Every structure is written in structure tokens, then in C-alpha cells.
């Protein structure tokens, strides 16, 4: 992989979840005499390639070697070929052809992997098969080295003539995020073929969630169609073979999402494809599926295949910089997700069930998009609505994480409601997967959403204290005026008894919902706000999940620390003198733990807004 994602909502790290399976057999290595050494490849050599442009029928195209580009990356070469036939003169090299094998004199040369965008001739960069075998065997990961590489310009051993021009060098782009040429006049630029991600049963609104995540990975989500019911059984039972469509699933079930490319070679139960990384995961575990090609969508830049997965036949276990590779007759470990939508007042429930690939870098976004799409399958939410979301996330070796909360307000209306509603669950799953302490396996995600008419939200219009001068042991009383959406104002009183030994001084009362209180709790407890252990991270997540948007909260921070955290270890309930001594030490990893007094009142509304009140505590306070 050549990149690492860093987006505002998620902290993404490259890698993937692996679930224990029987030991992997030793790779079935192709015999060296069946494929070409790069040193033996010469300009002018001619051969044929294989790919599918319609249905499952493997067709052939012609290929002529134009030259060899050495060291496009450390240890990697690229063979430059002109393709013809199979209507490629019109469509150009097709996204989805990635992995299409090319043979010369019956020996395998390599896989189509790069293309000349905007060129009038179908010129492809071919990954040598010898390097596909080497990298797949080692599960080699080169994403960090490649992520920093700018487009590299390499000289050709001899000039080539394309589109009536002479070229003596070519530029190789290895990162999909790099600026790419906008016309053929920019020279001979070879860019990695993107992977079309075909979907069925998924809305454009759901796919939009993945746009920013897929772009840097070189994947383009495309709305497609499911496999037609009238496809002959022989085509449904097609086996993977060189040139056939190769689908790699990310979501399967009541709707699906899968990347589509081409098989390069099958050796026993070992399958090689794509000729470039899909996501650059290194070791991985993704469903390997046969595929059906509906049609080719021609474009001025790079055309792409539209297709659909047929059936799972194995597992992709290596996603390297030269190819993807997998094993037939193995079963992938997937994350089951169930989403039930109940629309009130009818009360009719609709449930979708899918399985999600365990992609550590995309687990959260895929959960987010799956939940969002479960709503889109039922139609839009009403413009004015409230939703109660109950979710349970099961984790291997730990107690489940549970959420039960209400959502309402201007962010949860119309087209954007579903995406906003499930963003916290997506972030939760991503935080579990990207934690830096240990590999965590999410066993399942179950979510039930009740959709109620009307916006059950209320703004905090005003707050006041019954008295702003109190003595230790007195009760703080805050009167909060709520202004419900399209409803009459309501007054709620929050009461909080002060400790009898509370020190004199000035204090503040923070008024808001329970989420504001949870954020303050994390600030007061550095070991939770910046977890240094898995236990503390889980405590942090449970604290946030327990907070209710419908709870009105008064929080009074105490002015003295209650303990310290040292290198992630907590020392609570210390005498003030000890807290002061430890906090003033020169150890940089020592932080103070603060406490607060908290009063809550449940309401029928999602609370919006916050306020701060100030009061004084004095033993000799003046009587009112």
C-alpha cells in the first residue's frame, strides 16, 4: 500500500484483522520455465492476453512489447506493451482489466496493471509475473516506501512511436493521490489502473460516504446491478481461470460491494490477480469471488468494467504492491451486521443482514455505510423526525459495548439524517480496530433504529441559580428553561448537594446534555482522555456510550485534584498534599485527576446548547 488514511472522523492505520484458521499450505509455486524472466524480455516481442468484456467468456487480445522500465520502485520493474483487439483501440485499457495475463510463446509474461490515460493507443504497463510470485509468497508490504515516492521519469532503451510522436522516456505514477496529466500532450504517463468497486442494492447517498476513503486507495465505487436470475447455471458455476473476472468482496448479503479485476494465473489452489495492490494491506483475509461482467463503460480517460460478483470460492490472503493472491476452497472470516428499522407509529420492522470484510483501515466506514444503506433501502427518513438507536457490539474476550440513545435536531433531517445518525457507531468500530494495544476482533454488530415522527429536541434558552452564595452542605439549585421545537417552554430544576467539608471559594456549574458532561469527564481523567492501556480505552468508550442526549446535566468541577495518573497508571483518592507533591514533580508523564459533582434529570427531549453559572461557597455566607 502506498498511503495511510488520516480523515477527521477516523484514525486509520494500514493492516487487517486475521481470524485463526487452519495453517496455510505452502504456496504452490509455478515452475520458472512457465513464465518469463524480465532479463529475457525484448522490445518487439508479440503475444496474446486474456480478459472478459461480457458475461464470463474469456476473450483474447494482442500485445506487443515496447520496452522494459527498470526499478519503477525498489525491486520492481514494468513492461511496456501496446495492446490491440477486443475493441481496445476504441475503449483503451480498461479499469477492471487489472491482472489480465499476457503470454508470449506460451509463457506467462505478466499482468496488465497500468494505463496511458488520454492516449489514443491502448498502452499498458505490465507487472512481471515473476515479481508477483515473489511478493505474494512473502506477503511483502511496501506501502510506506511507495507512499513518499513522487512520479518517476524513466528512460527507454530505445525510442517508441505512439500517436505519431516519438517518446524516449515515460513517467510512472505510483500513488493515486498524485496529480495526473489531463491530456496526451503531457507525455507518456502510466498510471495505476483503478479498481472498480461494484455495488448492488446500495444507494448513491450511501456510496458518497466512502468517496473520500476510496479515492486515495485507487478504488472507484460504481452503482451496478445484481446478477440476473436468468444467468445459465454453467455461468454461475464458472471457475477461476487466467483472464476470468476476479471479484474481491467487502460487503456481502442483502446488498453487496466488491472490487473487480482479472485473474492472472491459477497454480493448484493458489490464485494470482490484479498486477497491482487492491488496498496494499499485506496479509489480509477477504472473500475471493468469481465475477460476471455486464458491460464496458467507455470514457475519454480510462474506461471501466461494470460487473457483479457471483459466488465465493476462497480467500484473498495477500495484497501486495505487485498483485493480490489467495487460496481456493477456504472460508473468509467476516463481520456479521444486522440492522432493523422500525417506523412508528406503524411499528413495522424491516431487517437487513450483511457480512463485512475485516479491513482494519475501513471497518468503521463500511459499518457506517452498511447501516446508512439499510435506511436507504426503506426510503428517506421524514424531514421532521426523532430516532432511538439501540446497538450492541460484541467483542472477543470482552464485555459487549452497548448504546441506547436518542437523536434529533437540525443535523438529523432529510437526506443527511441516516449518515449523521450512524457516524458514532462507525467511529466506535473503527476505534476498536485501530487501537494500538492489541488486536481486537469484533464478533458482531446488531442495531435497531426506531424512527418517530416529530423533532423531539429542546434548546437551553436560559439558566439561573436560586442562590449564588452558598455554604458547605447547602444544595445548589439551577432552574433551566427549555424551548422545545414547536412546543411550549418548560422549566426544569436541577439540585446538587454540596459536601459539608467543601472549601470556600468560587465555583462554576456547567449546564448541558450528558455528552458535554462526558467530554468534561474525559478532560478531568487524562488516563481516559488519552488512554495508555486497552482497559482505559474501553472505559473511555463505555463512558461515552453511557451518556444520554436526553439527560439534562449540571456539573460542578472541584477545585482540587483527587489523584494522579503516572505513565497511564491511575492513583485515585490521594490526599491533597500527595496530589500536589506528585503533580509538581519533574516527571513529564504525571497528570492530575480531577473530580466533579454531577446532577442529572431525564427529559423527553434531545438537549441542545449549554450554559455556565457561577457561585461562591463561604462558611460565613450572608443569609438571604
- All CATH 3.10.20 domain ranges of the chain, comma separated, are 335-453
Domain 335-453 has CATH 3.10.20: yes
The per-residue pLDDT for 19 is 41
- Give the alpha-carbon dihedral of 365, 371, 372, 374, to 10 degrees: 140
Which of 87, 68, 88, 94 shows the shortest CA–CA distance to 79? Answer: 68
User: SS3 of 277, please?
Assistant: coil
Residue numbers of the chain with a pLDDT score lower than 70: 1-28, 139-149, 175-185, 225, 229, 300-301, 560-564, 566-569, 571-591, 621-624
Residue range 413-465, pLDDT digits in tens = 878 888 899 999 999 999 998 888 888 999 999 999 999 999 999 999 999 99
Residue with grid cell 472478459, as numbered in its chain: 52
Q: How far apart are the first and last CA of the chain?
A: 70
Condensed to tens digits (0 to 9), the pLDDT of residues 67-106 reads: 999 888 877 899 999 999 999 988 889 999 999 999 999 9
* pLDDT number for residue 64: 96
96 closest CA partner among 273, 251, 235, 313:
273
**Which strand (E) or helix (H) includes residue 544?**
helix 534-546
pLDDT of residue 340: 96
Contact 600, 450 (CB under 8 A): no
Given this model, what pLDDT does residue 334 score? 96
Q: Give pTM, 2 decimals.
A: 0.85
Cell numbers representing residue 355 in the block = 457480512
* Nearest partner of 594 among 572, 615, 575, judged by Cα: 572
Amino acid at each position: 500500500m502506498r498511503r495511510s488514511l488520516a480523515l477527521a472522523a477516523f484514525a486509520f492505520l494500514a493492516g487487517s484483522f486475521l481470524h485463526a484458521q487452519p495453517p496455510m499450505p505452502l504456496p504452490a509455486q509455478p515452475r520458472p520455465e512457465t513464465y518469463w524472466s524480465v532479463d529475457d524480455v525484448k522490445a518487439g516481442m508479440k503475444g496474446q492476453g486474456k480478459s472478459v468484456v461480457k458475461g464470463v467468456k474469456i476473450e483474447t487480445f494482442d500485445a506487443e512489447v515496447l520496452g522494459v522500465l527498470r526499478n519503477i520502485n525498489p525491486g520492481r520493474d514494468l513492461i511496456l506493451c501496446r495492446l490491440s483487439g477486443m475493441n481496445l483501440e476504441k475503449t483503451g485499457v480498461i479499469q477492471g482489466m487489472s491482472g489480465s495475463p499476457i503470454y508470449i510463446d506460451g509463457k506467462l509474461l505478466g499482468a496488465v496493471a497500468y494505463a496511458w490515460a488520454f492516449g489514443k493507443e491502448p498502452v499498458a504497463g505490465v507487472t512481471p509475473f515473476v515479481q508477483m510470485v515473489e511478493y505474494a509468497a512473502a506477503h511483502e508490504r511496501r506501502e510506506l516506501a511507495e507512499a513518499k515516492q513522487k512520479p518517476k521519469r524513466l528512460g527507454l532503451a530505445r525510442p517508441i512511436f505512439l500517436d505519431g510522436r516519438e517518446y524516449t522516456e515515460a513517467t510512472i505514477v505510483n500513488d493515486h493521490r498524485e496529480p495526473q496529466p489531463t491530456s496526451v500532450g503531457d507525455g507518456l504517463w502510466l498510471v495505476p489502473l483503478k479498481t472498480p468497486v461494484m455495488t448492488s442494492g446500495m444507494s448513491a447517498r450511501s456510496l458518497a460516504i466512502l468517496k473520500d476513503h476510496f479515492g486515495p486507495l485507487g478504488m472507484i465505487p460504481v452503482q451496478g446491478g445484481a446478477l440476473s436470475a436468468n444467468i445459465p447455471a454453467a455461468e454461475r458455476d464458472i471457475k477461476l481461470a487466467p483472464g476470468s473476472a476476479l471479484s474481491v468482496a467487502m460487503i456481502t448479503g442483502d446488498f453487496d460491494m466488491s472490487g473487480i479485476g482479472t485473474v492472472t494465473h491459477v497454480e493448484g489452489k493458489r490464485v494470482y490477480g490484479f498486477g497491482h495492490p487492491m488496498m496494499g494491506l499485506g496479509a489480509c483475509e477477504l472473500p475471493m469471488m468469481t465475477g460476471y461482467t455486464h458491460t464496458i463503460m467507455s470514457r475519454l480517460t480510462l474506461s471501466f468494467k461494470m460487473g457483479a460478483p457471483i459466488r465465493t470460492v476462497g480467500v484473498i490472503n495477500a495484497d501486495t504492491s505487485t498483485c493480490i493472491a489467495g487460496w481456493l476452497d477456504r472460508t473468509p472470516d467476516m463481520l456479521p451486521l444486522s440492522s432493523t428499522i422500525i417506523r412508528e407509529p406503524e411499528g413495522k420492522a424491516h431487517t437487513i443482514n450483511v457480512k463485512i470484510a475485516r479491513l482494519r483501515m475501513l471497518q468503521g466506514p463500511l459499518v457506517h455505510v452498511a447501516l446508512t444503506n439499510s435506511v436507504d433501502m426503506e426510503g428517506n427518513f421524514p424531514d421532521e423526525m426523532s430516532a432511538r438507536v439501540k446497538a450492541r457490539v460484541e467483542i472477543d474476550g470482552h464485555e459487549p459495548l452497548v448504546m441506547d440513545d436518542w437523536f434529533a435536531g437540525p443535523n438529523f433531517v432529510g437526506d443527511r439524517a441516516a449518515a449523521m445518525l450512524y457516524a458514532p457507531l462507525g467511529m466506535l468500530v473503527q476505534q476498536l480496530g485501530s487501537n494500538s494495544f492489541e488486536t481486537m476482533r469484533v464478533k458482531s454488530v446488531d442495531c435497531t433504529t426506531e424512527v418517530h415522527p416529530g423533532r423531539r429536541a429542546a434548546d437551553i434558552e436560559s439558566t439561573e441559580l436560586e442562590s449564588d452564595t452558598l455554604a458547605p452542605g447547602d444544595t445548589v439549585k439551577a432552574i433551566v428553561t427549555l424551548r422545545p421545537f414547536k412546543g411550549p417552554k418548560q422549566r426544569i430544576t436541577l439540585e446538587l448537594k454540596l459536601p459539608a467539608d467543601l472549601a470556600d471559594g468560587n465555583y462554576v456549574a456547567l449546564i448541558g446534555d450528558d455528552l458535554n458532561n462526558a467530554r468534561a469527564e474525559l478532560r478531568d481523567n487524562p488516563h481516559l482522555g488519552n488512554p495508555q492501556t486497552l482497559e482505559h480505552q474501553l472505559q473511555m468508550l463505555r463512558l461515552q456510550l453511557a451518556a444520554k442526549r436526553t439527560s439534562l446535566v449540571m456539573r460542578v468541577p472541584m477545585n482540587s485534584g483527587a489523584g494522579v495518573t503516572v505513565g497511564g497508571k491511575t492513583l485515585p483518592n490521594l490526599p491533597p498534599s500527595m496530589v500536589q507533591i506528585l503533580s509538581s514533580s519533574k516527571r513529564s508523564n504525571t497528570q492530575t485527576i480531577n473530580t466533579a459533582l454531577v446532577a442529572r434529570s431525564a427529559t423527553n427531549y434531545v438537549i441542545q446548547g449549554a450554559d455556565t453559572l457561577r457561585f461562591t461557597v463561604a462558611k460565613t455566607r450572608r443569609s438571604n
